[in-house]
């Protein structure tokens, strides 16, 4: 009769692996960790109570609240026979993104020959719009020109006034 393999019948019969003893953390390390936690908590409490801007405990209020109660942005509008329509970048001017287009207009505004450059840039916007429209990339209306405005809104956290700007100031235009 063949011999049966030696298998443990009881858990106590299994071979034991040595247990590694974990040494407790040194007192100096425990003290250091507790001091670090206390410094962070106290620093945050101080910054909150002082209503200040003390790095690294700051809540960065420059991003938390508007600096003034008005919001001003540059916006492109297409001129049609019926009035004006807002151009949506990048849909109407792909592959350009709105942030890059507005940065380009900002740079143009700082140049001594800004009027000529702004007019040329707006003509380029009109040409790009027409090119994409002819290719069927968007279904916008035919334009007679484009205008660049600085549009101003009173600050509304819900943006309920998004479609009713408080003021529009014309910066430049390119008409056919």
* DSSP annotation of 114: H
Q: Is the peptide bond before 167 cis (omega within 30 degrees of 0)?
A: no
Give per-residue pLDDT as tens, 44-101. 888 777 666 667 766 666 666 666 788 888 889 999 989 998 888 788 888 888 888 8
Q: Determine the straight-line distance between the first and last CA of the chain, rounded to whole angstroms.
A: 106
Q: Which of 99, 96, 79, 95 is nearest to 140 (CA)?
A: 79
Give per-residue pLDDT as tens, 10-29. 656 566 777 788 888 899 99
CB 69 within 8 A of CB 161: no
Alpha helices in 51-113 (DSSP H): 61-64, 98-109
Q: With 70 as the cut, is the pLDDT of residue 128 above it?
A: yes
User: What pLDDT does 72 receive?
Assistant: 86
Tokens found for residue 24: 């407790």
């Amino acid at each position: 009769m063949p011999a049966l393999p030696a298998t443990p019948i009881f858990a106590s019969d299994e071979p034991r692996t040595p247990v590694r003893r974990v040494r407790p953390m040194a007192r100096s390390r425990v003290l250091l960790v507790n001091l670090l936690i206390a410094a962070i908590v106290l620093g945050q409490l101080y910054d909150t109570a002082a209503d200040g801007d003390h790095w690294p405990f700051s809540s960065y209020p420059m991003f938390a609240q508007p600096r003034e109660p008005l919001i001003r942005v540059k916006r492109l509008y297409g001129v049609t026979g019926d009035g004006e329509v807002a151009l949506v970048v990048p849909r109407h001017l792909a592959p350009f993104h709105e942030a890059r287009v507005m940065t380009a207009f900002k740079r143009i505004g700082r140049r001594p020959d800004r009027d000529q450059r702004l007019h040329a840039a707006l003509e380029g916007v009109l040409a790009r719009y027409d090119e994409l429209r002819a290719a069927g990339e968007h279904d916008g209306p035919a334009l007679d020109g484009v205008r660049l405005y600085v549009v101003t809104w009173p600050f509304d956290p819900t943006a309920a006034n998004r479609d009713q700007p408080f003021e529009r100031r014309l910066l430049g235009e390119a008409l056919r």
